[in-house]
């Protein structure tokens, strides 16, 4: 392990979900999605930047024809808590009208971002809309969103790794880890 990786690891309080557990659950989710969408025109919509690793891995297990695109939204800025003001930073390049859309999200906490995104996508005359998330923090939910495919329900802790970040760092960790509060200057996620 190099010095930079050691520095990142020293910021981790505990490993919440191991790399092996992540990959096993992602395989199961991908196979279920493939079965559910057999014969349908499926487009995956990944929410940047956090869902990139999850989306890349889950696509490998969805063994039916599909296409994918990305959207980027912002509600956090450089803070650790959502601001409540949503902005689309990158919209879809692909037309999703009359198609079955599956949102691929890294983590759902308050539900504000996802509520905004689902309303936006539903306005595009899609055939159906479902949500797949790697992580769900039900204790933080402020807006009711229906999660169709859930990787893991987790406690209200500040997590990083496997695409999730703090100040653009830690995304490349191969597991989900709890960040030490002294690193982000807080006590809650």
List 11, 57, 106, 109, catalytic entry: 109
Q: For this structure, is 57 an active site residue? A: no
Minimal CA–CA distance to 136: which of 17, 35, 36?
17
Active-site positions?
109
């Amino acid at each position: 392990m190099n010095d930079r990786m050691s520095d990142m690891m020293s910021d981790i309080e505990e490993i919440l979900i191991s790399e092996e557990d992540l990959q096993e659950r992602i395989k199961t989710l991908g196979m279920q999605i493939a079965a559910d969408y057999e014969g349908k025109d499926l487009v995956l919509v990944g929410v940047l930047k956090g869902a990139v690793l999850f989306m890349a891995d889950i696509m490998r297990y969805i063994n039916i024809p599909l296409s994918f695109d990305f959207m980027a939204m912002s509600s956090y800025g450089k803070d650790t808590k959502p601001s409540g003001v949503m902005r689309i930073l990158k919209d879809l390049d692909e037309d999703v009208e009359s198609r079955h859309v599956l949102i691929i999200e890294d983590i759902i906490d308050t539900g504000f971002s996802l509520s905004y995104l689902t309303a936006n996508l539903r306005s595009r005359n899609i055939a159906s809309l479902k949500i797949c998330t790697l992580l769900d923090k039900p204790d933080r939910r402020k807006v009711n969103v229906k999660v169709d495919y859930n990787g893991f329900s987790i406690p209200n802790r500040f997590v990083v790794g496997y695409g999730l970040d703090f100040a653009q760092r830690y995304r490349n960790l191969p597991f989900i880890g709890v960040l030490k509060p002294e690193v982000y200057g807080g006590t809650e996620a």
